[in-house]
Structure 1
């Protein structure tokens, strides 16, 4: 849903700019759903439409520190300032082509400032911005280094600032009180559960050992009883001698 809203707003901005004059145009950070619209070294502007004529005048983007922008006059806009002068004077110009490069269109587009990592021309370079700013920008139209017209200044543009990994505090003391209490309770319960499982294990082993000993004793006792068993009549019956045989009769 957010994607469609941003696209509609971008198109509406372009539509409202139809017939607008550059002197009333305010540069805006893009509303298009692109990744990295503002980074630690770049920012992205909506590409202006329908504010320039179809002439061959040169369009420049003036990038300035916010505290310097208030003191920049029209006389300071010509000739264009080089990127190498930015550390000392606090502003520089980025070439953006001719006015004919910005026709009216129903398709939203953007300009990424600070996008050229390796500049082949150090004189006028769209190089990465050196710090988080804040900055202000404006579009300037020139003809042979003569100022033709310019837009209004944008609002403050502040870049993202990365945090040094060595300064990130990972100590638990930075956690909330509720998180610490919950962690302590879970740790205590885990310890109690571990003790219960350990005790149950030893009790089970001891019970199995007792059962095994009782079974072995029963087997030994049964074996002894089998060896000592005598029938009940074996002690009372005695061996009887065979009766004497009668003499054979004599024949006379």
Structure 2
């Protein structure tokens, strides 16, 4: 009886400790990855060995704008929000990278730091809950949540503020190619028109120049023929013209 009581007590303690691991866990940027933060994405360390007591429960990554994460309640996170709704400005957060908790198993300590999650790595074609690119004029936070059929089951803490590298701003629907200003586009258009005009001029010069060359060659051949007639013996000249009269 004492043994069963001890085993039960150990089980309760183990479950309580693991549960507390989830609630106190803070998502971390992967420090061993060189490009752990770019102007479009960031890389988190996988939360391995954190959800081991719930291997079949769904785990989402929630990405939120830093300016509004503190106003997002756990009950609000119970309904998954697609990236498209966030991108269109309907929400300040979204859910992505849905997996079962068993996908984050316990690993040897020497390999745990090599398992990472990149946030913002997809182009999002046809997938509402995609892992879409981020905008570098915003700062972000992330957390992991467990959802079951009843709603949110457990959640980690929010990460620290994540500041993306400042580079080219997100182009969105501006219609301009990435990395080119309006002045560059106008200059490129003008140069293209000038190149087309120059090409047409060269083609026209070749056409008319070729005609002029043919005309000069014809005139030169005609002069050469007249000269041959002038130096032809008179008897030959007469006989040729006599044959012309006979034929006619």
Q: TM-score, normalised by structure 1?
A: 0.54
Name the SS for the 2:84 alignment partner: helix
Contact 1:119 1:126 in 2 (8 A): no
Aligned partner (choices 98, 101, 104) of residue 103 of structure 2 = 101
Q: Deviations over 1:191-219 (max 9, x none)?
A: xxxxxxxxxxxxxxxxxxxxxxxxxxxxx
Distance 2:125 2:21 in 1: 32
Contact 1:69 1:136 in 2 (8 A): yes
Matched, 1:157 2:191: no
Distance 2:150 2:65 in 1: 22
Cα drift, residue 105 of structure 1:
0.5
1:57-72 matched pairs, under 5 angstroms: 57-72=57-72
Distance 1:145 1:41 in 2: 34
Unpaired runs of 5+ in structure 2?
Answer: 1-16, 170-178, 182-248
Q: 1:39 — aligned with what? A: 38
Distance 1:158 1:48 in 2: 21
Q: Would the alpha carbon gap of residues 166 and 130 (structure 1) be closer, same or farther in structure 2, given more than 3 Å must change?
A: closer
Q: Deviations over 1:90-143 (max 9, x none)?
A: 10001331000001112121000001124341x211000133421111100001
Q: 2:122 — aligned with what? A: 116
| Largest Rg, 1 or 2 | 1
Distance 1:102 1:130 in 2: 28
Name the SS for the 1:95 alignment partner: strand
Name the SS for the 2:75 alignment partner: helix
Contact 1:79 1:145 in 2 (8 A): no
Name the SS for the 1:81 alignment partner: coil
Q: 2:85 — aligned with what? A: 85
When the two chains are superposed, the root-mean-square deviation of aligned CA atoms in Å is 2.2
Cα drift, residue 75 of structure 1:
1.1
Q: Would the alpha carbon gap of residues 124 and 163 (structure 1) be closer, same or farther in structure 2, given more than 3 Å must change?
A: closer
Cα drift, residue 163 of structure 1:
5.3
Q: Deviations over 1:134-188 (max 9, x none)?
A: 1111100001361110000111001011158889xxxxxxxxxxxxxxxxxxxxx
Distance 1:41 1:119 in 2: 17
Name the SS for the 2:163 alignment partner: coil
Cα drift, residue 35 of structure 1:
3.5
Cα drift, residue 49 of structure 1:
1.3
Q: 1:139 — aligned with what? A: 144
Q: Would the alpha carbon gap of residues 37 and 132 (structure 1) be closer, same or farther in structure 2, given more than 3 Å must change?
A: farther
Q: TM-score, normalised by structure 2?
A: 0.55
Q: 1:30 — aligned with what? A: 30
Distance 2:101 2:168 in 1: 40
Aligned length: 148
